[in-house]
Structure 1
């Protein structure tokens, strides 16, 4: 099981903490730089461990914030990632190299964009994983295992062709340029800043502070003392262990029940919606470009997948 991550808005692209690695992240590319490369010996694809992971709950699937409209949704991320993979493969094969396409991820297996925005909110997830990140769902686990296997089996020449000398070029960079060609210039740093700023501001709102106190009182009755849900998810008792303890499962369950009892998620999300809409009105031109870029990239990805 993966270590717990107290993932809340802090400027990541669209706060999509997918865990999916559908695009080659800096971590993956760094691994490429150090992977053994001399031989061409094929390794057997590692099979993901099958465990019974509950699907994302309705509470997480339904959670949205206004700034979501300006970045790719989890489904769109998957679509764009699949198109990049197809285009990268065409580029590789044009150079006489192989490129094994990765399996697609079912929409029901994708991580909801705002799943942990307000801490743990799904009863089924709290019951099994506590505050730890849920394990990957089946098609996502299969995709990650296939990506890992492909990366491990690339020769030095193939890695250079796919990613370039600086790990920012090659066929993957070409694929990304194909999907974004002609789209308006965007300021993603602005979007990241707005995501973080509005989230922080929401925590100082009187209505949110009021519901925090109600939630905290409820948690006290369950034997847990936290001033806010983020304090609970960041507790070092959970972050320093690989598997959730019985105590963690009990407290996480109480956390979810107290959120429901105090209407914490609805109150907090309504406040954040108001704050984000105010922020959106301050940057109409910049955010319009971001939305146009997002829609254009997805449209180009769908064309690539249908070709």
Structure 2
């Protein structure tokens, strides 16, 4: 089950999956779905890395990365606490790059569903979940570059006289675990899950569900054609821009009152119209069809993950 994980974007950098395997390993409060009627149930998830294995891989990754960082001269990271696993490094602010994070979670595949959660987090529950699971740690620019190898412009390619490995110490660790860097390899599960949503939204029954949800939202005072439109919230983006232009200050990580109210109405309309049950059933049907057509590729991906988990276990056993 893939849980909250960020997709990081940075000026002059390609879109990169942050964590690269750290998508797994949710808190114990996330039990696996046991019924196909559970909206978290996804046929494709069977071929993804299990949560426990994801934690094992993440622990091995950071164990190796600490050794690499020490080798590069970052002696202070020798005792870096990796329990809980740190978040994937973010480039420090004020270093000439604008970096944005988009958080995703299987629990929110169809958008907000819990009015109480929406009233607290707006549309940012995935970010909050990720931050709770993987605490952010402040990094210097030199530490960030050595860990990730994500260079921009004139960034130094070495640290303390040592050449930074390709994709940094975390990339070096991934190659030891996976044999290659996951970023260089297409993730068939993620790809097919995306295709399933794209195909599902073209199904007439899904479109009817969108219109029924939209009618409910109009009664609540909101004009959105679909839950995706509500989550993007172009009207809220305009309001935020106007507030900034007038000098109003607000924590950008804190959802606005309007966002919370919109998300709460969104979740309530999903419950009142049975939206999630309808679209989930369509999603499951399409995913089953995709699994049947791509079973060999998916099985190879599962074996790839299993092999990585075994190597990670060996790494941790050798270091114990």
- Is the TM-score greater than 0.5? yes
TM-fit CA distance, 1:288: 0.6
Q: Is the 8 A contact 2:157 2:163 kept in 1?
A: no
Q: Does 1:168 align with 2:167?
A: yes
Q: Is the 8 A contact 2:65 2:173 kept in 1?
A: yes
Let me know the Cα RMSD of the aligned residues.
Answer: 4.1
Q: Is the 8 A contact 2:39 2:280 kept in 1?
A: no
- Bigger relative contact order (CA 8 A; separation at least 6): 1
Flag the 1:235–1:92 CA change in 2: closer, same or farther, 3 A. closer
Decide which of 290, 294, 303 is 1:283's aligned counterpart. Answer: 294
Counterpart residue number, 2:16: none
> SS of the counterpart of 2:123?
coil
TM-fit CA distance, 1:122: 2.8
> SS of the counterpart of 1:225?
coil
> SS of the counterpart of 1:118?
coil
* TM, length-normalised to structure 1: 0.66
Tell me, which stretches of 5 or more residues in structure 2 are unaligned? 14-27, 86-102, 147-155, 241-251
Flag the 1:249–1:175 CA change in 2: closer, same or farther, 3 A. closer
The residue correspondences of 1:38-77 to structure 2 (distance < 5 A) are 63-72=40-49, 76-77=53-54
> SS of the counterpart of 1:145?
coil
Q: For the residues of structure 2 that align with 1:90 and 1:59, how far apart are their CA atoms?
A: 34
The residue correspondences of 1:179-190 to structure 2 (distance < 5 A) are 179-181=177-179, 188=186, 190=188
* TM, length-normalised to structure 2: 0.64
Decide which of 242, 267, 270 is 1:256's aligned counterpart. Answer: 267
Flag the 1:82–1:133 CA change in 2: closer, same or farther, 3 A. same
Flag the 1:226–1:152 CA change in 2: closer, same or farther, 3 A. closer
Flag the 1:303–1:263 CA change in 2: closer, same or farther, 3 A. farther
Q: For the residues of structure 1 that align with 2:291 and 2:308, how far apart are their CA atoms?
A: 21
**Structure with more of its chain in helix, by fraction:** 1
Q: Give aligned pairs, total.
A: 257
Decide which of 259, 277, 302 is 1:266's aligned counterpart. Answer: 277
TM-fit CA distance, 1:84: 0.9
